[in-house]
Structures are given as C-alpha cells and as structure tokens.
Amino acid sequence: MGKVSVLFRIMPSGVDADLVALEAGVREALGDVLRGIAVKPIAFGLKALMASILIDDASGGAEAYEVKLAAVPNVESVETLDVTLV
C-alpha cells in the first residue's frame, strides 16, 4: 500500500476573514494527516491557505477531506490542486 500527497487551496469567505482562526480550523479538521500549511496571496488583498496532506492510497481519496475542509467556518471554497503518489 502506498501513500498519496494531496494539495488543497482553501479560499476564505472574504478579504477580512481571520486567517489565524481559519488556519486553526483547518488544522483541527485535518488532524494528523496534515503535513504543511501556508498562506498564499491571490489578488487584491485576498489570501488563500494551501494545505498539504499525506494519506494512504486505499483510504478512498481526497473527497472526504474536501468535505471536512468545506465545513470549517469562513471557508468559501476548497479545491484539490494536486494528487501525487508518493
């Protein structure tokens, strides 16, 4: 059984969203599969969180984690940017 690295872009609900609280919610939602998180400027003051996770390839994919991230308060959208077999 192999591992899969997944990269998500998490967009906040707006420019004035509290990114510290949003990051804490993302960390709580992903738990121990989270491998890294970073803030990335998008445009006009809007910033996104980039979160990387590492999961088993037999776990059923990234969709369950997208749902968990979408449920975090002040998350506007979640997009899977990259899925790579490790």
Residue 4: Cβ within 10 Å count: 17
Q: What is the mean pLDDT of the chain?
A: 93
Under CATH, which number does the domain 3-85 receive?
3.30.70.60
Within 10 Å of residue 9's Cβ, how many Cβ atoms? 16
Which tokens in the block code for residue 70? Answer: 């979408």
Which amino acid appears at position 31 of this protein?
A: G
Query: What pLDDT, in 10s, does the model give residues 38-57?
Result: 999 998 889 999 999 999 98
On whether the pTM is more than 0.75, the answer is yes
CB 6 within 8 Å of CB 55: yes
The SS3 assignment for 5 reads strand
Pairing of strands 34-43, 75-85: unpaired
